[in-house]
Amino acid sequence: MIEVKNLTKRYGKITALDNISFTVDTGEVLGFLGPNGAGKSTTMNIITGYISSTRGTVTVDGCEILAEPRKTKQKIGYLPELPPLYVDMTVRKYLEFMFDLKRVKLPKKEHVDEVMRLVGLEKHGNRLIKNLSKGYRQRVGFAQALLGNPPVIILDEPTVGLDPQQIIEIRKLIKSLGKKHTVIFSSHVLSEISATCDRIIIIAEGRIIADAKKDELSKVLADGQQLTAVIEGTPADIIAELKKIPDVTQAKKTETLSDKTGRYAVEYKPGADIRRETFHAMARIHCPILEMRAGSESLEELYLKLTAKAKGGAEA
C-alpha cells in the first residue's frame, strides 16, 4: 500500500533522514517509534506530500506523490503533530469546511455525522472548537483525517498531551481503524506503540534501526536476553551463583534497594529460559528472590540502549 524508497531529507547541513526505505501492507498498523528529533514528523510530512524530499520516492496505492499530488493526497488522511484547527468554528462547521476543501464526493451530512460518531464527537457538533479540551480537539483532528474514508491514515504523535483515559480511547480508535485502513502512527513512547501496533519501525538520527513484527522485535534487537530480579543476600555470593547457571553470559547488580536487597540483571543466550535455574540457584544459597522478570521488560531497555547507541554512532 505504501512504499518508501531511499528517502533522504536535508535541512541545510542537517540530515534529518538518511536513506530510509520501508513498505507498509494494506491493513497493517505500523508504529513509528523514535526519540524526539529522530525524523518521524519529517517522514510523515514527506509521505503526505506536505514537504518534499531531498532524494527518494514515496508511492501510495500505486500513486507517486510528486507525479500525482492531488490523487495521492486523496488516499491519505493525516493528523499532523499540531493539527491546524479553526478554533472559532463549531466542530460540525469545521468538518464540513474540511469536507469541501478535500472535495469529498460522499453525501455531506451523512458522512460528517458518521465520522463524528466514529470518534465520539456526535454530541459536540455545535460546540466551538476553542471551548473543547485537548482530548476533544485531538478527536476533531482525527475526524478531519477520516473525512472521505481514505485508505491510508497517518497520525503524528496522536496521544501526546492527553490524559490516561483519553490515551486509552485514542488507542481503541487506532485499533478499530486498523480493521479498514492502513495506519501509520508515531510516538516516542514504546508502550504507546506496543499497545496498538502489529509492526514497529524504530528510527533514530534519521536511520531505521529496527523493523519487525511486535512479537519478534525483542528477539531481533537483542544480542542475548535479560532477566532482572530483586534478590536478598550478599551481592558477591549472588553474582557468583548466578554466573554458574548454564546459558548465563553476564550477571551484575544494577541497583541497591536496601542494605540486604538489590536488583540484578542477568544476561543469557537467546532462546534459553533461566527462570527455574535461577530459582534453584538462589534457593541453594538461601537468598530469597522477591521479584523476577524475564524478557519483555528488556524491550524498553533495548529501545533506550539502541537509540543511545545510534546517537553515539552519529556523533562519533
Phi, psi of 222 (to 5 degrees): -80, 140
| Residue of 20, 40, 144, 155 that binds ligand ADP (CB under 6 A) | 40
> 145, 78 in Cβ contact below 8 A?
yes
Q: Which does 316 bind (CB under 5 to 8 A by kind): ligand ADP, Mg ion, none?
A: none
The stretch near ligand ADP (CB under 6 A) out of 33-41, 65-73, 270-278, 292-300 is: 33-41
Pick the closer one to ligand ADP by CB: 37 or 135: 37
Q: Rule CB under 6 A: is residue 31 a binding residue for ligand ADP?
A: no
- Name the residue with cell 478527536: 139
Which residues have a Cβ under 8 Å from the Cβ of 217 and sit 6 or more positions away?
A: 200, 210, 299
CA–CA separation, 246 and 266 (whole Å): 12
Q: Which of 10, 18, 27, 37 binds ligand ADP (CB under 6 A)?
A: 37
Q: Does 14 bind ligand ADP (CB under 6 A)?
A: yes
Q: Minimum distance between the CB of residue 19 and ligand ADP, rounded to whole angstroms?
A: 15
- Only one of the segments 9-17, 104-112, 240-248, 254-262 lies at the binding site for ligand ADP (rule: CB under 6 A); that segment is 9-17
Q: Which does 30 bind (CB under 5 to 8 A by kind): ligand ADP, Mg ion, none?
A: none
- Judged by CB under 5 A, the stretch of 35-43, 58-66, 270-278, 286-294 that binds Mg ion is 35-43
Q: State the nearest-atom distance from the C-beta of 308 to ligand ADP, in Å.
A: 16
**Residue 134 CB burial class (10 angstroms; 0-12, 13-18, ≥19):** exposed
Binds 16, which of ligand ADP, Mg ion, none (CB < 5 to 8 A, cut-off by type)? ligand ADP
Q: Which stretch binds ligand ADP (CB under 6 A): 18-26, 30-38, 164-172, 287-295?
A: 30-38
User: Which cell numbers in the block locate residue 256?
Assistant: 541497591
> Which range touches Mg ion (CB under 5 A), out of 8-16, 39-47, 263-271, 306-314?
39-47
Are 1 and 24 a contacting pair, CB within 8 Å?
Answer: yes
Of these partners, Mg ion, ligand ADP, none, which one is at the site of residue 80 (CB under 5 to 8 Å by kind)?
A: none
Rg of the chain on CA atoms, in Å = 24
Residue 313 makes CB contacts below 8 A (sequence gap 6+) with: 205
Residue 263 burial class via C-beta count within 10 angstroms: exposed 0-12, middle 13-18, buried 19 and up:
middle
Q: Which residues are within 8 A (CB) of 18 and not within 5 positions of it... i.e. 6 or more apart?
A: 8, 205, 206, 207
Task: Work out whether 41 is an interface residue with Mg ion (CB under 5 A).
Answer: yes
Interacting residues toward ligand ADP by CB under 6 A: 11, 14, 16, 34, 36-42
